Amino acid sequence: MAAADGLAGVCGAALRSAPPHALVPATAALLAEHAGARDIDVLLVDYGLTVLQPVAEEPRPEDAVPVDQGSAARAFAAQEAVVDSDEQGVTVHLPLSVRGDRLGTLRVLLPAGTPYERDTAPLLEFADLLAHEIVAASRHTDLYLRSRRRRRLTLAAEMQWQLLPGLGCAREEYTIGAHLEPSYAIGGDNFDWSAGERRLLVAVTDGLGQGIDATLLTSLTVGALRNARRAGLSLGDQARLADQAVHAQYGGKRHASTVLMEFDVLTGTVRAVDAGSPRVLRQRGGRVEAVPLEAQLPLGMFEETPYEEQTFEVLPGDRLIVVSSGVHTARSSGGDLFGSRALQRAVTDSRLAPPYETARAVVRGLTHYLGSPDLTADAAVVVIDWHGPDTKA
């Protein structure tokens, strides 16, 4: 059995050299040899964030574990090890995540009396290594993406999920959590971010329309925004380049809305461009209010549209909630807007939850408000907790 402080180090090279599709059997063999594991399961969260499903060539819905029930779910939600033990043995549930993006859990069955019952740190380090390898392997095999599906994605949703950076990101200065619905049929809504040493850039984009037409529009918009961002252009110029790209393709007949934000990690100053319908809320203490941004024209409506940047500040402890039009403009059967009061209530009620759970809570609040789990419009929610640079050691 491997030394308690060297499990990941001992297994790292072997795991990295395993074929992309063979990480689960490689994990089982390595943990059996070096930790005495009797069995393991790798469970990945589905696109709708409702269940954890075992990795398999042919996913079996009956083997899925609800994301809000049981020890595997607690490890996933809390991002910490959860240990169950009886006279038969010890089961350790470990979170699988990569820089704040939650992938699922690793379940390891160990013999009674294992030292890992008291010290789970080596297993947590191994799970972190495995999560990184799953992300890398997903570039070369469909196995892990297929294992996340409870049912077939629409073509539009397939394209949209390939555009996303993940569902979360974490650094000492901030934590991001996001959610999209309808997860298996999403069309035009998208979120994007890029983390740098000094800057964090976040965008939420809403392409006009539904289905494949909306996805093609959003793909063009996100691609243009990334191209401009990676060229080092300012936010205003990023919006202008994307505006020109959309207008050149559609001649003003279709447009995309977006909100762009660039955070200065050291100062908390945020530069922003509001080009259309996404809305930004700020929760400071017990108060939730809209960030006062000047609404400018959506991208692609007119040729050569100028876009101006605005600034606002975030303080340590602030939470920003960015929602697409499918959230804040949704109406109940009585005609009331979700974005008027119900949205703020959903945000307030989940103020103690991490960003990932708050994003889900907003969507749950929306479906409850509408009286149906089946949304007729895309809904994107991005939650950013700002910790500030003063949390550094």
User: Is 2 domain-assigned?
Assistant: no
Residue 290, token pair as written in the block: 């809209």
Looking at the fold, whether 175 and 73 belong to one and the same domain comes out as no
- Give, rounded to a whole angstrom, the gap between the first and last alpha carbons of the chain: 35
- Do the beta carbons of residue 235 and residue 260 sit within 8 Å? yes
User: What are the Cα distances from residue 92, in Å, to 15, 109, 393?
Assistant: 20, 7, 31
Task: Say whether pLDDT at 364 is over 80.
Answer: yes
Average pLDDT for the chain: 93
Looking at the fold, whether 136 and 165 belong to one and the same domain comes out as no
Min mean pLDDT across 116-130, 243-257, 368-382 is at 368-382
Give the model's pLDDT for residue 390. Answer: 63
- Do the beta carbons of residue 378 and residue 324 sit within 8 Å? yes
- Do the beta carbons of residue 377 and residue 209 sit within 8 Å? no
Task: Say whether pLDDT at 314 is over 50.
Answer: yes
User: Is 374 domain-assigned?
Assistant: yes
Task: Say whether pLDDT at 5 is over 90.
Answer: no
User: Is 1 domain-assigned?
Assistant: no
| CA dist., res. 116 & res. 274, Å (int) | 51
Looking at the fold, whether 313 and 352 belong to one and the same domain comes out as yes
Burial class (CB in 10 A: 0-12, 13-18, 19+), 134: buried
Total tally of structural domains belonging to the chain: 2
Count other C-beta atoms under 10 Å from residue 155's C-beta: 12
Residue 42, token pair as written in the block: 């790798």
374 or 120: which leads in pLDDT? 120
User: What are the Cα distances from residue 35, in Å, to 43, 88, 210, 223?
Assistant: 20, 17, 50, 45
Looking at the fold, whether 186 and 273 belong to one and the same domain comes out as yes
Average pLDDT over residues 233-262: 97
Looking at the fold, whether 138 and 159 belong to one and the same domain comes out as no
Q: Where a domain ends, among 90, 114, 146?
A: 146
Task: Say whether pLDDT at 393 is over 70.
Answer: no
Looking at the fold, whether 258 and 360 belong to one and the same domain comes out as yes
Looking at the fold, whether 215 and 340 belong to one and the same domain comes out as yes
Cα R_g (the chain), whole angstroms = 22
Q: Say what the pTM is.
A: 0.93
Looking at the fold, whether 278 and 372 belong to one and the same domain comes out as yes
| CA dist., res. 123 & res. 270, Å (int) | 39
Looking at the fold, whether 68 and 163 belong to one and the same domain comes out as no
Task: Say whether pLDDT at 3 is over 50.
Answer: no
Give the model's pLDDT for residue 339. Answer: 83
Looking at the fold, whether 114 and 180 belong to one and the same domain comes out as no
Count other C-beta atoms under 10 Å from residue 393's C-beta: 3
Task: Say whether pLDDT at 41 is over 60.
Answer: yes
- Do the beta carbons of residue 186 and residue 218 sit within 8 Å? no
Domain containing 72 — which CATH number?
A: 3.30.450.40
Q: Which domain holds residue 56?
A: 7-146
Backbone angles phi, psi at 33, to 5 degrees: -75, -40
Q: pLDDT tens across 6-17, in order?
A: 788 999 999 999
Q: Name the residue among 259, 313, 317 with its Cα closest to residue 287.
A: 317
| CA dist., res. 211 & res. 293, Å (int) | 29
Q: Where a domain ends, among 121, 146, 171?
A: 146
Looking at the fold, whether 20 and 59 belong to one and the same domain comes out as yes
Looking at the fold, whether 189 and 278 belong to one and the same domain comes out as yes
User: Is 255 domain-assigned?
Assistant: yes
Q: pLDDT tens across 56-110, in order?
A: 988 887 889 999 999 999 999 999 999 999 888 999 999 999 999 999 999 999 9
Task: Say whether pLDDT at 178 is over 80.
Answer: yes
User: Is 362 domain-assigned?
Assistant: yes
